[in-house]
């Protein structure tokens, strides 16, 4: 009899969850493109349906996707690069990304159409629980590795973790931590509006662990909107609790992240760094420094110093215990206790040698100096790379006004694919013999990326990457591509604004994150956004019965 409730709950859970949809989401959100393809193939084997329902009026799915493919083909024909074999591969790959997006959103729409609101909601809850479990496993592994309960303040291993600890909290996508932070930001808005306060706090906690200052700012903006315009007393209380989480995290768990964020803002405004990076402290004795931080000459000096010290100790007369300096600590038998190395000293904060992944970037800059007006100067720029990238796009159209409507073409100016096709291991590997770099991309967005990311880790931030959905659509698909996004994607969902609940703040959040990465090509967070918006639209169309309210 004691097993009956357990069996009943399991049966209820099984019937109240769309396990096919859950499996598809888990696989499709994975960073590996091959896993995403497997997810698409598997879901279509389970749900064989190709009735997309694209129509000029009352389209079932956003017309943005077929329109952007048409614009890409027109741009391909106008730009005349169809004789270049390597570019043809880039073009086909780019079209493939959009086709996968169409296949994915169709299955998401089918799931919402065929299931009740309660089933989709339960599926989303389980997805976020899995992501939270994996994220906690990520931080747990770091704690075990560093033996530090709070790795956000651990400065050993040349600050491998410390302020960068959040970069390792990747969740179930195994993608960059920014992807995990965006997913959880969606979760915070979704669960807060649906009054699932426990899941709201779970998502907020994982969001903070990723330590994304950009997403923290965006979520604060959403909290302000919800607090003032669209929340009851309980929701306001949870918003205050979430803000408390943020304050504790920034003040106690990762105070250096707070300093970094303030310094970034001040640098952008005043055009000079307020907090300079550690300067190597020459007071750290060379014999106490790790070999990995030494140049070949310094290694020789260390060996010589150790040898001379050993000779001195061997031939020096014994010193009486009572004649030792007061600062020297000894045991009762007179044995000197050597002080422990202080990992917080500047000499242990920054790795002096160039990381392997950056060596190829340096070599690339050296080999293409004449085409890289920013990188070849080797000067630090106070202007964030993202702003520089936007200026480059506008300057490009000023110099090539004929391309303002259809752009430079897929993978030719500003996209994940453009970076990937360089074969420099941006956004995954790419066959080197088929690499392609458009000259306009080389001297603009690739140049600004190299200018920051071939330097010290302190410059490797979202503020310095030229990635942006708006930049991608404008530069590679032209003004028509950007208009297609606003009219046939954003408005496709926003037209229901009078009835949407969590859909409106999610739209605002989506418009914000489009500034920081190429999210359509990521094939991850956009699909979750679409699932939540389709669900909100479905809820808005249901009659307000007690049953509906319960769901």
- DSSP for 79-97, please give it: HT-TT-HHHHHHHHHHHHH
Q: What is the pLDDT of residue 353?
A: 54
Segment 374-378 long-range contacts (CB within 8 Å, at least 24 positions apart) = 374/447, 374/448, 374/450, 374/451, 375/447, 375/450, 375/451, 375/454
Q: What is the pLDDT of residue 52?
A: 97
Residue 248 lies in a domain: no
Count Cα neighbours of 540 within 13 Å in the Cβ-side half-sphere. Answer: 18
* Distance between CA atoms of residues 165 and 159, nearest Å: 9
DSSP letters spanning 395-431: HHHHH-GGGTTT-S-TTSSSSHHHHHTTTS-TTS---
Which stretch of DSSP H or E encloses residue 134? Answer: helix 117-146
- pTM here? 0.82
* Distance between CA atoms of residues 344 and 321, nearest Å: 31
Q: What is the pLDDT of residue 283?
A: 47
Domain count, the chain: 1
User: DSSP letter at 354?
Assistant: P
Residue 328 lies in a domain: yes
In whole angstroms, what separates CA 370 from the centre of its chain? 32
Q: How many residues does the chain have?
A: 551
Burial class (CB in 10 A: 0-12, 13-18, 19+), 543: exposed
What phi and psi values does residue 14 have, to the nearest 5 degrees? Answer: -65, -40
Residue 199 lies in a domain: no
Look at residues 526, 523, 532 and name the one whose alpha carbon lies nearest to residue 175: 523
Contacts of 453 (CB under 8 A, 6+ apart): 358, 361, 459, 460, 464, 465
- Helices 469-485 and 385-399: crossing angle in degrees, nearest 10, is 50
User: DSSP letter at 337?
Assistant: -
Q: What is the pLDDT of residue 549?
A: 44
CA torsion angle for 461, 463, 464, 470 (degrees, to 10)? Answer: 120
For the chain, 551 residues long, give each residue's pLDDT as a single digit of tens: 444 444 445 566 667 899 999 999 999 999 999 999 999 999 999 999 999 999 999 999 999 999 999 999 999 999 999 899 999 999 999 999 999 999 999 999 999 999 999 999 999 999 999 999 999 999 999 999 988 999 998 887 777 888 889 999 999 999 999 999 999 999 999 999 999 999 999 999 999 999 998 999 999 999 999 999 889 999 999 999 999 999 999 888 988 776 666 655 555 555 554 433 333 344 456 666 656 555 667 777 777 777 676 766 666 655 454 555 665 666 666 666 666 655 555 555 555 555 666 777 888 888 888 999 988 886 666 788 899 999 999 999 999 999 999 999 999 999 999 999 999 888 778 999 999 999 999 999 999 998 887 776 667 778 888 999 999 999 999 999 999 999 999 999 999 999 999 999 999 999 999 999 999 999 999 999 999 999 999 998 877 554 444 44
* Distance between CA atoms of residues 533 and 376, nearest Å: 46
Q: What is the pLDDT of residue 177?
A: 93
Residue 2 lies in a domain: no
- Helices 445-453 and 356-367: crossing angle in degrees, nearest 10, is 130
Residue 332 lies in a domain: yes
Bridge partners for 336 per DSSP:
330
Q: What is the pLDDT of residue 54?
A: 96
* Distance between CA atoms of residues 24 and 162, nearest Å: 35
Helix ranges (DSSP H) in 210-348? 213-229, 233-248, 255-270, 296-315
Domain carrying residue 326: 289-339
CA torsion angle for 298, 302, 303, 305 (degrees, to 10)? Answer: 130
Residue 324 lies in a domain: yes
């Amino acid at each position: 009899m004691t097993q009956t409730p357990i069996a009943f709950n399991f049966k209820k859970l099984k019937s109240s969850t769309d396990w096919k949809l859950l499996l598809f989401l888990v696989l499709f959100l994975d960073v590996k493109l091959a896993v995403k393809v497997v997810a698409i193939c598997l879901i279509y084997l389970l749900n064989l349906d190709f009735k997309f329902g694209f129509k000029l009026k009352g389209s079932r799915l956003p017309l943005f996707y077929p329109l952007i493919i048409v614009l890409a083909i027109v741009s391909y024909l106008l730009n005349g690069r169809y004789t270049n074999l390597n570019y043809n591969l880039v073009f086909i790959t780019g079209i493939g990304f959009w086709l996968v997006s169409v296949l994915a959103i169709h299955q998401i729409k089918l799931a919402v159409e065929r299931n009740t609101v309660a089933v989709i909601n339960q599926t989303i809850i389980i997805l976020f629980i899995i992501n939270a479990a994996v994220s906690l496993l990520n931080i747990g592994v770091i704690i075990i590795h560093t033996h530090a309960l709070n790795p956000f303040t651990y400065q050993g291993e040349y600050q491998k973790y410390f302020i960068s600890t959040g970069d390792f909290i990747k969740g179930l996508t195994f993608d960059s931590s920014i992807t995990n932070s965006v997913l959880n930001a969606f979760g915070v808005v979704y669960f807060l509006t649906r009054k699932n306060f426990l899941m709201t706090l779970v998502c907020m906690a994982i969001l903070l662990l990723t330590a994304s200052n950009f997403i923290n700012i965006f979520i604060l903006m959403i909290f302000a909107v919800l607090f003032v315009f669209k929340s009851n007393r309980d929701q306001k209380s949870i918003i205050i609790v979430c803000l408390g989480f943020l304050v504790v995290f920034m003040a106690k768990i990762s105070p250096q992240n707070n300093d970094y964020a303030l310094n970034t803002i001040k640098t952008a405004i005043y055009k000079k760094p307020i907090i300079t990076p550690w300067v190597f402290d020459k007071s750290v004795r060379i014999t106490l420094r790790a070999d990995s931080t030494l140049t070949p000459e310094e290694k020789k000096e260390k060996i010589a110093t150790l040898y001379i010290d050993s000779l001195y100790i061997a031939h020096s007369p014994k010193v009486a215990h009572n004649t030792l300096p007061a600062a020297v600590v000894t045991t009762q038998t007179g044995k000197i206790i050597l002080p422990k190395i202080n990992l917080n000293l500047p000499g242990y904060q920054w790795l002096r040698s160039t990381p392997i992944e950056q060596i190829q970037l340096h070599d690339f800059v050296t080999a293409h100096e004449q085409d890289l007006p920013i990188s070849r100067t080797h000067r630090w720029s106070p202007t964030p790379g993202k702003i520089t990238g936007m200026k480059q796009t506008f300057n490009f159209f000023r110099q090539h006004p004929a391309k303002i409507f259809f752009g430079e073409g897929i993978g030719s100016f500003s996209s994940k694919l453009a970076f990937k096709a360089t074969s420099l291991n941006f956004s995954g590997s790419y066959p080197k013999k088929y690499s392609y770099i458009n000259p306009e991309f080389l001297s603009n967005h690739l140049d600004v990326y190299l200018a920051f990311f071939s330097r010290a880790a302190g410059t490797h931030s979202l503020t310095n990457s030229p990635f942006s959905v708006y930049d991608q659509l404008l530069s590679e698909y032209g003004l028509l591509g950007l208009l297609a996004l606003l009219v046939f994607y954003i408005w496709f969902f926003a037209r229901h604004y009078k009835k949407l609940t969590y859909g409106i703040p999610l739209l605002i959040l989506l418009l914000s994150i489009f500034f920081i990465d190429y999210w359509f090509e990521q094939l991850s967070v956009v699909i979750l956004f679409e699932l939540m918006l389709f669900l909100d639209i479905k809820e808005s169309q249901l009659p307000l019965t007690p049953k509906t309210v319960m769901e």
